[in-house]
Amino acid sequence: MLLIIVLLLDKFYTPKWIPPQIDDNELTKVDRNQDGEIDSWIYRNEEGIPSIGIIDQNYNGDPDSWAFFKNGKAFLDEEDSDGDGKIDKIFLHVFSEDKNKIREFFFDLLDKKRNIFVEKEDTGWVDVTK
Ligand SMILES: [Ca+2]
Ligand SMILES: [Ca+2]
Ligand SMILES: [Ca+2]
């Protein structure tokens, strides 16, 4: 089932670049490496809570990482790690009702890999894929 999802995502997925045309009090622009070029955009809802974060991780001018938030927590991260314009890494974060992260799904569309991480009380986050 998961393999089918990965294959479908690989076939149809393209990055979601959202142009920064929005009221300035709902958009924060950040120059993370202080080279004078904006490389991070954070969109906020009316309450000021982040809804989407976009990052140019390798500072080449093109966004390559997208984070989608719900209740101020990222539930979905997407990444174009090789810069070909297609998303190739996807992280799904699952939260419990008390808002603690309880599970993470990682899909690597380049390596056709998927991993599932859960937090154990004694050892921290462990890969329970197998
Ligand atoms: Ca910069
Ligand atoms: Ca980039
Ligand atoms: Ca890619």
The alpha carbon of 59 and the centre of ligand 1 are apart by a number of angstroms equal to: 6
Is 64 within a domain?
A: yes
Q: What residues make up the domain containing 107?
A: 2-16+33-127
Is the confidence at residue 25, as pLDDT, over 90?
A: no
Q: Tell me: pLDDT of 65 over 90.
A: yes
| Radius of gyration for the chain, computed over Cα atoms and rounded to the nearest angstrom | 16
Give pTM, 2 decimals: 0.74
**33 alpha carbon, closest ligand:** 1
Q: Is residue 23 part of a domain?
A: no
Q: How far is the CA of 128 from the centre of ligand 2 (A)?
A: 31
How many whole angstroms from 117 Cα to the centroid of ligand 3? 23
Structural domains of the chain, count? 1
Structural contact between residues 51 and 59, judged by C-beta atoms closer than 8 angstroms: no
Check whether 17 has a pLDDT greater than 70: no
Q: Is residue 39 part of a domain?
A: yes
Q: How do residues 30-43 score in pLDDT, each as one tens digit?
A: 999 999 999 999 98
Q: 41 in a domain, yes or no?
A: yes
Specify if 28 maps to a domain. Answer: no
Give the list of residues 6+ apart from residue 20 with CB closer than 8 angstroms, or none. Answer: 27, 29, 41
66-75 average pLDDT score: 86
For residues 130 and 125, what is the distance between their CA atoms, to the nearest angstrom? 15
Q: Domain with 67 in it: what CATH number?
A: 3.90.930
Name the token pair of 3: 């393999």
Residue 115 is assigned to a structural domain of this protein: yes
Residues 50-69 have a mean pLDDT of 92
Give yes or no for residue 47 having a pLDDT over 60: yes
Instruction: Please report whether residue 26 resides in a domain.
Output: no
Distance 111 CA to ligand 3 centre (A): 11
Residue 114: inside a domain? yes
- Residue 47's CB: how many other CB atoms inside 10 A? 7
For residue 119, what pLDDT is reported?
Answer: 82
